[in-house]
Structure 1
Amino acid sequence: MKPSLPLLCTALCLALISLPAHAYIDPNAGGMLFQLLAPVFAGIVGVWLFLRQWISAVARRIWRKLTGRGAE
């Protein structure tokens, strides 16, 4: 089945037509997003650094119970 020339021209015209988007993103939207996410990320990293010894000790204890190496 061979596509016809008018069909190809119509598809090409529809693909190349530029329509207005009626949308606007503020240039500082990235800065606002950074201001929102940077403290959240810093808080998560701070909690992780503060609690990493306790988390690793709990994980080590659970791993020893699961593998049976706690009786050594």
Structure 2
Amino acid sequence: MALKLKRPESALLTTKEAASFLSLSEKTLVMDRHKAARKGATLQFPYIKFGTTVRYKRSDLEALIDASRVE
């Protein structure tokens, strides 16, 4: 079941909303953040952090999808 977003298209998404948008698990996004923080690796999924609050820009995720397209 798809998660219904209650925010405008350009809004910031929670980890749960971003995972649903990308059809991934929340754990995938959390592990990506932790891996980059620990090992200095490049983030696959860019995010914004306000204190302990993490958000994903929908437009960043859409750009990632477009850049990942294989033709």
Q: TM-score, normalised by structure 2?
A: 0.24
- Larger RCO of the pair (alpha carbons < 8 Å, separation 6+): 2
More strand by share: 2
More helix by share: 1
